[in-house]
Chain A
Amino acid sequence: MNASEGLWSHLTGGALFWLTLTLVVYTIVDRLSLLARRNPLANPVLHSVWVIGTILVVSGTPYETYFDGAYFIHFLLGPATVALALPLYENRRVVLRSLVPIVAALAVGSAATIGSVIVCAAIFDLPAMITISSLPKSATSGVAMGISQSVGGDASLTAIIVVATGIAGAVMATPLLNFLRITDRRARGFALGLAAHGVGTARAFQVHPLTGTFAGVGMSLNGLLTAVLVPLAASLIGG
């Protein structure tokens, strides 16, 4: 083995390299997304995931090795959910004035999401493990993984489906909501946060602070309701 190969395997076996790579790739991709004027297709999460995923596959690095480094970032998902208290607090009056539509849209949206997953899984005859792991797909990663585990799902699979859902929601929200002629920023934000959690919320904050705040509200309330509804849905389809 020559010196450069030795150095490569030394670096790629440790946490420092993968943590740095994640931050560098994200920074570049986020910069490009800004240059693309935040076009929804230039979603920073989407492009970071495939770039880093390709590097892992090509270099033959196990995900566990990568995650040892990336865990420092992953851990902050919980604190970031807690931190949504700030935009919520700053906009509490606007949110309070919209309390009735919020509660109604939450109940209908959350149930419709879980119901549509069950219907979709039945149509495509998906294995039970995928169905169960997809039930909390609209809740934010940290929350959804916990829910999935508690109902016998595969938490890693849930994480992937959750992030993919977030990306899909963030990419399609603007054209879809324009097509549906929904102009109210509160409705747009709330729907995006409920359906596409933190990735959708990040997208909503790119568009407008009010949209972002309502996305944050939708995301946190749906995290709560999904935790209640998924065990019920799982026992229905399981038993």
Chain B
Amino acid sequence: MVVGLAVVLLCQLVGEIFAYTTHLPVPAPVVGLVLLFGFFLVRDRWEWLPFSLRSEEIDKTCETLVQQMALLFVPAGVGIVQRLGILEANVVGVLAIIVVTTAFSIAVTAYTFRLVSRWFPAPTESEE
């Protein structure tokens, strides 16, 4: 748990440093994701890494975080109690943004994915 959390936080920290020093509009956690991906690539190829960095714990920590991701949105969502006034005054427009643009976004993305994957079929596809 500890080594897993340390590695994940370290990736995010380096991401933060990267975003701050380069002034690029990249979110630190996304840079951290790329770094952790690179770490997994390296780990499974090179045997010389210290034992603690090769432990399964890192995978288990990541698994837990991903599995419980929905919970992590609750505190920000409860923030709605703070903005009830402005939301109530614009309730129809805000609901339209939340429902209509999200439905549009899902539909457009899924259609584009399907259309393009028909033009460029994956080499060996198991559709299941």
Which residues does A use to contact B, with CB under 8 Å?
22-23, 26, 30, 44-45, 48-49, 52-53, 56-57, 63, 66-67, 70-71, 73-74, 76-89, 97-98, 100-102, 104-105, 108-109, 112-113, 116-117, 120-121, 123-127, 129-130, 134, 137-143, 145-147, 150, 154, 156-157, 159-169, 172-173, 176-177, 180, 182-188, 190-192, 194-196, 198-199, 201-203, 205, 210, 216, 218, 220, 223-224, 227-228, 231
Contact = CB atoms under 8 A, between A and B. Distances in A.
Interface in B69-93: 69-83, 86-87, 90, 92-93
Contacts of B93: 120-121, 123-126, 130
B111 A195 contact: no
B107 A80 contact: no
Contacts of B98: 137, 161, 164-165, 168
Given A26-B71, A78-B29, A113-B105, A184 B127 contact: yes
A197 B54 CA distance: 30
Given A86-B62, A104-B112, A137 B101 contact: yes
A30 B121 CA distance: 38
Given A79-B9, A82-B29, A143-B30, A159 B79 contact: yes
**Which has the most chain B C-beta neighbours within 10 Å: A89, A172, A231?**
A89
19 contacts: A44-B71, A45-B70, A45-B77, A48-B74, A56-B81, A67-B75, A76-B72, A78-B28, A86-B59, A100-B117, A105-B112, A143-B27, A150-B25, A160-B79, A160-B80, A172-B102, A182-B111, A223-B29, A228-B25
B78 to A, nearest CB: 5
Contacts, number: 324
A101 B62 contact: no
Given A83-B36, A160-B80, A172-B103, 5 more contacts: A77-B72, A98-B117, A117-B97, A172-B99, A187-B117
B72 A101 contact: no
**What is the predominant secondary structure among interface residues of chain B facing chain A?**
helix
B122 interface: yes
B66 to A, nearest CB: 5
Contacts of A82: 8, 11-12, 15, 29, 32-33, 35-36
Nearest to B117: A101
Contacts of B116: 100-101, 104-105
Contacts of A125: 93
Contacts of A140: 29
Contacts of A104: 112-113, 116
Contacts of A159: 76-77, 79
Contacts of A218: 109
A194 B102 CA distance: 10
B1 interface: no
A156 B82 contact: yes
A173 B123 CA distance: 28
A147 to B, nearest CB: 8
Given A86-B62, A202-B69, A220-B30, A71 B90 contact: no
